[in-house]
Structure 1
Amino acid sequence: MMQISHIMSFLFLFGLQESADNVSPDSTSPSKDALLEEACKKYDEATRLCPTLHDVCVLVHVADDPLHYCDLLAFYNWAIAISDRAKMRGRTKEAEELWEQATKNYEKAVQLNWNSPQALNNWGLALQELSAIVPAREKQKIVRTAISKFRAAIQLQFDFHRAIYNLGTVLYGLAEDTLRQGSPNLKEVSPDELYSQSAIYIATAHALKPNYSVYSSALRLVRSMLPLPHLKDGYLTAPPVGNSMAPHGAWKRTEFFLNHEALQQVIRVDQRQITRSLSGRTSDVTDMDKRAIRVDIPDIVSVSACADLTLPPGAGLCIDTTSGPVFLVADSWESLDGWLDAIRLVYTIYARGKTDILAGIITG
């Protein structure tokens, strides 16, 4: 068990950070930066002298949300202090070095406690800040790492609206950069797709926290980038309805859309069938509807990636429902991540009783 003196040392360090936060710009007391620098030095000493310090859990107030508190680690608090110092220095070389230090400490915090969505989210934010300072040739790699951290945070806590919103903003920035650089490599995601992905996360963050003005403002900017009246659309390879064990040749790559109600396969009706239906014969169109896969959001039990040799080549997707599993295949693992997040987020919104808000966003 850790000695009492070590616990008291940790609480003293946290007190230094709290004091820095309370410093007024015109105060004659030690400056905020000086207090933060002192806290950082003490954290450095403490973590080297007492490797078990990270086992101490403290209640730390989360900015602008007084109802939420998190058990955080020493490296996490140290990273926050470094980040606060970096913010004071704009886009300078010194700020770049501080953001790099912050990302390393967030990484250590996650290694010590992988089940911390807040640490993953802050790690992503630090990387996002760092990407705005580094040379252009280094930027995209850092941005994509930030995306992976936000996504990991969401996967730990599906209603973590801050991480959801942050992922939307970093994707929007990536879309802007990709557009400025001209036509993307054929293997890269297009700017339009990145904008659409960004809009999905911002829209779902708003649905979870409709009273947050920053989410509302961002939504006004990106809403038209959604495939309205749907939240997401794209292509998935699907088996014949009710026969996931069908031979690979029977699986077809077809269009799907996701809205607040369901994931729905789109079966295109050819002109000949439309002509017959207009003449009063609607049975063909009805039969086409019956051959479309539909997963209603309330019926979803879980959504996961799956690697199964019985599935056609590609990134496997398993949607477990109250009626049994539905198997689909995405074009790539990156595409699969987008489908997984979108379906999980729509279900989370449904589970939180906010489906009407999402419906208003995409159909209003």
Structure 2
Amino acid sequence: MEQPRGPKPADRPGFRDGARKSSPPAPADVDVVVEEYGEEEEEEPPRSATAKQEEANAALGAEGSRPFTVRELLGEIKEDVEAAEADGEGNGTVSADVEGSLTSQESMQQFSSHHDVAMDLINSVTGVDDDGRSRQRILSFAGKRYVNAIERNPDDPDAYYNWALVLQESADNVEPNSGSYKDTLLEEACKKYAEATRLCPTLYDAYYNWAIAIADRAKMRGRTKEAEDLWKQAILNYEKAVQLNWNSPQALNNWGLGLQELSAIVPAREKQTIIKTAISKFRVAIQLQFDFHRAIYNLGTVLYGLAEDTMRSGRPDVSTNDLYSQSAIYVAAAHALKPNYSVYRSALRLVRSMLPLPYLKVGYLTAPPESHAIAPHSDWERSQFVLNHEGLQQVDGSDQPLSQLPGHMDRVRKLTRIAVADIISVAASADLTLPPGAGLCIDTIHGARFLVADSWEALDSWLDALCLVYTIFARGKSDVLAGIITG
């Protein structure tokens, strides 16, 4: 059989029915605002600071030398540039007075060779269009400001951090075919981030953006030993960023992406462990922000890759069907949250048949009698449950959903049914009164409902699916999910 071309970084989604295998597109990086997907309902947050830190700074009235986001940096510097150009009589040049106020010629001559190299680099970036050139002029202007700040105070971590941001953003403006030049800019940015974190070891944003810069350098090197070393460095920096700010789904998502990329380079014996770690990072990112569609989609792609690897290895202890089905759930959820994204739409076409249609998820849970929630353990029954856009419902021994059973209206009172609109929260439960297994508590407007999954791994799958369905409902996208699973 012809071997399909693999996705990046995980290998090949496809169909289990013997059709030709295809692969979903590459995972979605949170640190890159993707513009080719179509209409955007909202803009991704800037990669240089978390909302939590921005809110804290606003609440404290923080000013002065605090780290800027890229958007703030460019906005402030743009005003200075426009004022400077006005003083230069509109000829696009910076007046001598303003230039001198930022950095005197004498001060420039005192720059170390390290600073000279970096300034020469960003001054050589021309951009690919008028907007790019304008943006780069602002970045060049900003670079002089932060170099001058470092000259005045070599122990200012924020100046190094902002200088690194300028270099990193300049690398984004480099012509696509100038790989080595872009890599040099990123390398200089990494040196500045390293110095910023040496001076301030708790600077979360520096570790986060440093990791992004290293990852960008690794991507230029393909699947080489040098790329492997760079991915390992990026992963360590993402880990440090998460240690400093555990409530950062973006850092966790990027950490997972780094692990996913690394898994494609390391020897096969190491791959499974790295992939499972990547899955855990994506899952935690989603649990922090259940509408984080990029992490949701990335989890779907990595699960698909794991299913493909498992199928090729012929491991009898793992169900590839379950892995394929789980992968399809996350891809479907990402598409439901962002139906205009062509990447998600294309991936869904490839994996939709792996869902237990017309449901999103089918599996087994142990439930008490519907009329007696605190019944003895002996009265609890393990049975099949189905989940769709409307809610979770129990299936009787005939393995048919309630709506397809004769006289099903009489059975509704006996079998568990939880409407998604009634859900308040979903969580694991360690209640000691529950039967053996992994406890699940679904709090509803009618009271708490308890169920038990076969294992903690199975419970994670149910928790994610229920929370995703509820999030899609809360975002007003249930009709999109209904269209996916009912066709």
TM-score of the superposed pair, with normalisation by structure 1? 0.87
Deviations along 1:66-124, one digit per CA (max 9) or x if unpaired, are xxxxxxx1100000000000000000001001001111100000000000000000000
Q: Determine if contact 1:23/1:32 at 8 Å carries over to the other structure.
A: yes
1:37 alignment partner in structure 2: 187
Q: Which runs of 5+ in 1 are unaligned?
A: 55-72, 271-276
Deviations along 1:196-243, one digit per CA (max 9) or x if unpaired, are 000000001000000100101100000000000000000000001142
Distance 1:30 1:168 in 2: 33
2:360 alignment partner in structure 1: 231
- Say which of 452, 472, 476 aligns to 1:349: 472
Aligned amino acid, residue 13 of structure 1: A
Which one has the bigger strand percentage?
1
Distance 1:9 1:104 in 2: 20
- Say which of 160, 177, 191 aligns to 1:9: 160
Describe how 1:240-259 pairs up with structure 2 within 5 A.
Answer: 240-259=369-388
Aligned amino acid, residue 252 of structure 1: E
Describe how 1:37-56 pairs up with structure 2 within 5 A.
Answer: 37-54=187-204
Displacement after TM superposition at 1:3 (Å): 8.2
Distance 2:180 2:409 in 1: 75
1:149 alignment partner in structure 2: 281
For CA contacts below 8 A with separation 6 or more, give which structure has more relative contact order.
2
Which SS does the other structure have where 1:301 is aligned? strand
Displacement after TM superposition at 1:359 (Å): 0.3
Which SS does the other structure have where 1:51 is aligned? coil
Distance 1:230 1:30 in 2: 50
Displacement after TM superposition at 1:21 (Å): 1.1
Task: Go from structure 1 to structure 2 and tell me whether the alpha carbon gap of 1:83 and 1:75 turns closer, same or farther (over 3 Å shift).
Answer: same
Q: Determine if contact 2:158/2:196 at 8 Å carries over to the other structure.
A: no
Task: Go from structure 1 to structure 2 and tell me whether the alpha carbon gap of 1:90 and 1:3 turns closer, same or farther (over 3 Å shift).
Answer: same
In the alignment of these two chains, the number of paired residues is: 331
Q: Which runs of 5+ in 2 are unaligned?
A: 1-61, 66-155, 400-405
- Say which of 278, 281, 293 aligns to 2:416: 293
1:88 alignment partner in structure 2: 220
Distance 1:209 1:244 in 2: 38
Q: CA RMSD in A?
A: 1.9
Displacement after TM superposition at 1:245 (Å): 1.4
Deviations along 1:276-324, one digit per CA (max 9) or x if unpaired, are x6xxxx5xx5443321100000000000001111000100000000000
Greater shift, 135-144 or 35-44, is seen at: 35-44
Q: Determine if contact 1:99/1:129 at 8 Å carries over to the other structure.
A: yes
Task: Go from structure 1 to structure 2 and tell me whether the alpha carbon gap of 1:121 and 1:26 turns closer, same or farther (over 3 Å shift).
Answer: closer
Distance 1:2 1:111 in 2: 25
Aligned amino acid, residue 18 of structure 1: E
Which SS does the other structure have where 1:142 is aligned? helix
Matched, 1:78 2:210: yes
- Say which of 337, 340, 347 aligns to 1:211: 340
Aligned amino acid, residue 35 of structure 1: L
Deviations along 1:29-64, one digit per CA (max 9) or x if unpaired, are 98000111111122112211222433xxxxxxxxxx
Describe how 1:144-183 pairs up with structure 2 within 5 A.
Answer: 144-183=276-315
- Say which of 443, 446, 453 aligns to 1:323: 446
Describe how 1:299-338 pairs up with structure 2 within 5 A.
Answer: 299-338=422-461
Distance 2:431 2:340 in 1: 43
Distance 1:216 1:144 in 2: 26
Aligned amino acid, residue 479 of structure 2: D
TM-score of the superposed pair, with normalisation by structure 2? 0.66
Distance 1:141 1:117 in 2: 21
Structure number with greater Rg is: 2
Identity of aligned residues (%): 72
Distance 1:177 1:142 in 2: 13
Aligned amino acid, residue 336 of structure 1: L
Distance 1:105 1:348 in 2: 31
Deviations along 1:334-356, one digit per CA (max 9) or x if unpaired, are 10001000000000000000110
1:263 alignment partner in structure 2: 392
Distance 2:177 2:328 in 1: 41
Distance 2:325 2:225 in 1: 34
Displacement after TM superposition at 1:6 (Å): 2.9
Aligned amino acid, residue 43 of structure 1: Y
2:240 alignment partner in structure 1: 108
Aligned amino acid, residue 470 of structure 2: Y
Deviations along 1:229-277, one digit per CA (max 9) or x if unpaired, are 000000000001142211111111000000000100001359xxxxxx6
Which SS does the other structure have where 2:426 is aligned? strand
2:39 alignment partner in structure 1: none
